[in-house]
Structure 1
Amino acid sequence: MGYEFTGTDLDFLQSEGGAGALSAVGDLELSARSSVRDITEVRSRFPDHASALIETVTVRRKARVKLSDADRWLVTNDAVQQATPTLVARRRATRLVGRRVHDVTCSIGGELAVLVESAELVVGSDLDPIRLRMAAHNVPGATVFRADAVTPTTRDTVVVADPGRRAGGRRRHDPAALQPPLPDLFDAYRGRDLIVKCAPGLDFDAVDWPGEIEVVSLDGGVREACLWSEGLSERGIRRRAAVLRSDGAVVEFTDAESDDIPVEPPGEFLVDPDGAVVRAGLVRHYGARYGLWQLDPRIAYLTGNTVPAGVRGFRILEQSKFSEKVLRQLLERMDCGSVEILVRGVDVDPAILRPKLKLRGSVALSVVITRIGRSAVCFVCAPGTTDQPV
């Protein structure tokens, strides 16, 4: 939870005096070390607006990692937590160039700010009057108005929705527990072009969705799942993974590609596909593109004798059945002093295992613990390395 802004706060923040006050507060450190001194100064200089100023400045700083123009935006902490990173939103906007788009949960305008760059028409709506005022300030090129997301208010538009996914500080993964609930959105816009942004942890099997499900990552972190209605998706594609990097590189994988790969003993390297690929269920398609194969048909680790460009791979040094005793002996023999532990398909907590290994050597290594067939196995590897970027 963050500070609850009022209309009076926004009147001040949007005024000439408010702009000057924001600039002054923005010059303060506002860190844990200086917070008492800085807050005292703000309260002394701007007694009627201290909380709104401090909240705006601190949340703007958090928002810089997501929003490209955060230092001029009016923001709330909750809105920024759910906001789509600009690079992810911009990538989605490339599929909507020249379209008429209505963001029915526009919040403070994160999606609108990108859509206005290339869409023919952009409108936004929300039930929260404070966030609507912020959106109007943040994205002057968009038209915004108050409306319920499940009450259609435009025609011939692509509808974009980003249901609320948090309650009491916790994420909600049940489609019916989102705000608004996914079934209500589906019913309200049945037959319309619809895009719904969801948390990547959404249970796809619980969603009766006839179109495309796309999972997007940015710089290795999975950011969102996105549902595209049939009219907006390419024929024959039901799953897509979009792997983005901050330098602008984009690599996509879809279920229209071949997934014909064998299950064979390990090659020279282990490869852990990007999280978007794993969440989208496209591990085999990823492996087929890069000439990799599986260790086990139920495990997402792949293996091969080369590592795809820009992907982190682990050169296998030793392999054995997994037990704490055997792994400790292996690492001791290899003079290991620090270890990265990766686990998939086996009930092992790296934080609990690491001190039990009693490492005293000087070499840094990586350990991958996974399941092959019915057996838990461990691979001792050289530290993960990345080939040249795409």
Structure 2
Amino acid sequence: MDPATARLTASPACLELAASLRDTSPRDALAVAGRLRKAGHEPALVAAAMSLAELRREARPRLGDAADAMVFHRAGLEQASRAVASALHAERFAEAGCRAVADLTAGLGADARAVAARGLGVVAFEADEATAVLAAHNLSPWPDARVIHGDSLALLEGADVDGVFADPARRNARGRRHDPADYSPPLDQVLDLATRYRALGVKAGPGLPHEAVPEGFEAQWVSVDGDVVEVGLWAGAAARRAGHSALVVRGEERHEIAGPTDRAPAGPLGAYLLEPDGAVIRAGLVGVLAAQLGAHLVDPSIAYLTADAPIATPFARAYRVLERLPLDVKVLARELHARDIGTIDIKKRGVDLTPEQLRPRLKLRGSGRATLVLTRLEGRHAALLVEPV
């Protein structure tokens, strides 16, 4: 988006028109646009309002009702933190006792808004002029929040803040997403700010290598309703501990686990299979979880746990093992046909065969539903017929 379009999008006329289109169905977009132009609205204004209304609809699942008061462009919306994640970031700075926070990579201002809503001052930097225009509108309800268009690292020294947050861009022309050398601004330069400010937080991709976490930082992998959305690197007063932790968010519930990244012991398959949450796996805390639950790995190289008794935990999904089968398509097809299974949910870990490859080869036509886990057990490929607990 160019700066002129951004200013048009944030204009009172566009905001009013977009609000009137809140409940317009996408399938009616062409007819509605034609009606608005016929009513005398400028084509550029109609296009901007239609686009904004569409982006607000897409933003609601991620940002909630706040999306109806915000302005967006598509690239910024795709990169914006979910509302629940932004609230977690803001909570860290509030707990750290910060009075003002610099957001080095403001984007459309989702994280900066959450910090401002906690009553803290905000200086939001954005390198792209059009995005800065939109962010200024999104932060306008808070008088102690301001947006600066420019290079954040070059201008940070002049900002009167005691906390710093950054969500560096993680894509480059080579397509790599998890190499810290490709972050913008550079990850090492952002992490070096930890010694200069009361609190530092950096949102990174969940695939960040463990060796990229500086000594003394807290690295917390976060999953929201089953999706691993980020790893937060926290330092100074924003860190609750040094080392690795995992936060599992499901609805209104939050559950946290932390500890050393030791591997769990492996042993024979028990009556129950446990699939650790992705945040626990990414954080390297499967061993900690196994010790807490009295469980063990099904194989030294596979992040499935097993136990002989049912276990309820927010950090893993539990399945009752119904039968262990060889990972042989003919055998699996025969056994599933015998059970009248027509729909199969397939999970895999540690095997090359994909659900997309296996499902059509089974040729299922039954009326029942089952869950099949393809994995390694004691060094050998196997298939487990299981049912969720």
How much does 1:18 deviate?
A: 2.7
**Rounded Cα–Cα distance in structure 2 between residues aligned with 1:364 and 1:380:** 11
After TM superposition, the structure 1 = structure 2 runs for residues 8-23 of structure 1, keeping only pairs within 5 Å, are: 9-11=6-8, 13-15=10-12, 17-23=13-19
Counterpart in 1 of 2:149?
Answer: 146
Deviations 1:297-350 (A, max 9, x none): 221111122132455322111113322222223223333222111000111111
**1:219 and 2:216 correspond:** no
- The aligned amino acid for 1:82 is Q
Counterpart in 1 of 2:178?
Answer: 173
SS in 2 for 1:74: coil
Q: Residue 223 of structure 2 contacts residue 230 of structure 2 at CA under 8 Å; is this kept in 1?
A: yes
**What TM-score do the two structures reach when normalised by structure 1?**
0.87
**1:93 and 2:90 correspond:** yes
**Rounded Cα–Cα distance in structure 2 between residues aligned with 1:262 and 1:167:** 39
Deviations 1:41-65 (A, max 9, x none): 3444332322211221111111111
Counterpart in 1 of 2:319?
Answer: 314
Counterpart in 2 of 1:38?
Answer: 32
Deviations 1:264-303 (A, max 9, x none): 2222221111111111111121222233222122211111
Selected match of 1:332 from 337, 343, 356:
337
**Rounded Cα–Cα distance in structure 2 between residues aligned with 1:20 and 1:92:** 31
- The aligned amino acid for 2:129 is P
Selected match of 2:369 from 329, 349, 364:
364
Moved more, 81-90 or 329-338: 329-338
SS in 2 for 1:232: coil
Q: Residue 323 of structure 2 contacts residue 385 of structure 2 at CA under 8 Å; is this kept in 1?
A: yes
Sequence identity percentage: 32
Counterpart in 2 of 1:286?
Answer: 289
**1:243 and 2:248 correspond:** yes
User: Unpaired segments of 5 or more residues in structure 2?
Assistant: none
Q: Residue 321 of structure 1 contacts residue 375 of structure 1 at CA under 8 Å; is this kept in 2?
A: no
Moved more, 363-372 or 283-292: 283-292
SS in 1 for 2:292: helix
Moved more, 353-362 or 34-43: 34-43
After superposing on structure 2, the runs of 4+ consecutive aligned residues of structure 1 that deviate more than 4 Å are: 167-171, 187-191, 206-210, 259-262
Counterpart in 1 of 2:47?
Answer: 51
Q: Residue 222 of structure 2 contacts residue 248 of structure 2 at CA under 8 Å; is this kept in 1?
A: yes
Selected match of 1:267 from 270, 273, 279:
270
SS in 2 for 1:224: strand
Q: Residue 175 of structure 1 contacts residue 207 of structure 1 at CA under 8 Å; is this kept in 2?
A: no
- The aligned amino acid for 1:267 is G
**Rounded Cα–Cα distance in structure 2 between residues aligned with 1:323 and 1:12:** 57
Counterpart in 2 of 1:126?
Answer: 126
**Rounded Cα–Cα distance in structure 1 between residues aligned with 2:168 and 2:265:** 40
**Rounded Cα–Cα distance in structure 2 between residues aligned with 1:165 and 1:261:** 32
CA RMSD, Structure 1 to Structure 2 (Å): 2.5
Q: Residue 212 of structure 1 contacts residue 230 of structure 1 at CA under 8 Å; is this kept in 2?
A: no
- The aligned amino acid for 1:37 is A
Q: Residue 319 of structure 1 contacts residue 378 of structure 1 at CA under 8 Å; is this kept in 2?
A: yes
Work out the number of aligned pairs and report it.
375
SS in 2 for 1:48: helix
Counterpart in 1 of 2:108?
Answer: 108
Q: Residue 197 of structure 1 contacts residue 225 of structure 1 at CA under 8 Å; is this kept in 2?
A: yes
**What TM-score do the two structures reach when normalised by structure 2?**
0.88
Moved more, 332-341 or 79-88: 332-341
How much does 1:260 deviate?
A: 8.4
Q: Residue 255 of structure 1 contacts residue 282 of structure 1 at CA under 8 Å; is this kept in 2?
A: yes
- The aligned amino acid for 1:39 is A
Counterpart in 1 of 2:208?
Answer: 202
Q: Residue 13 of structure 1 contacts residue 22 of structure 1 at CA under 8 Å; is this kept in 2?
A: no
User: Unpaired segments of 5 or more residues in structure 1?
Assistant: 386-390
How much does 1:256 deviate?
A: 5.2
**Rounded Cα–Cα distance in structure 1 between residues aligned with 2:112 and 2:160:** 18
Moved more, 260-269 or 195-204: 260-269
Q: 1:120 to 1:53 in 2, by over 3 A?
A: closer
Moved more, 199-208 or 288-297: 199-208
How much does 1:12 deviate?
A: 6.2
Q: 1:274 to 1:144 in 2, by over 3 A?
A: same
Counterpart in 2 of 1:379?
Answer: 384
**Rounded Cα–Cα distance in structure 1 between residues aligned with 2:281 and 2:209:** 14
Deviations 1:58-82 (A, max 9, x none): 1111111111300110111111111
**Rounded Cα–Cα distance in structure 1 between residues aligned with 2:217 and 2:10:** 43
Counterpart in 2 of 1:253?
Answer: 257
Q: 1:145 to 1:171 in 2, by over 3 A?
A: same
**Rounded Cα–Cα distance in structure 2 between residues aligned with 1:240 and 1:271:** 19
**1:183 and 2:188 correspond:** yes
**Rounded Cα–Cα distance in structure 2 between residues aligned with 1:8 and 1:266:** 60
**Rounded Cα–Cα distance in structure 1 between residues aligned with 2:77 and 2:109:** 10
SS in 2 for 1:340: strand
Q: Residue 126 of structure 2 contacts residue 150 of structure 2 at CA under 8 Å; is this kept in 1?
A: yes
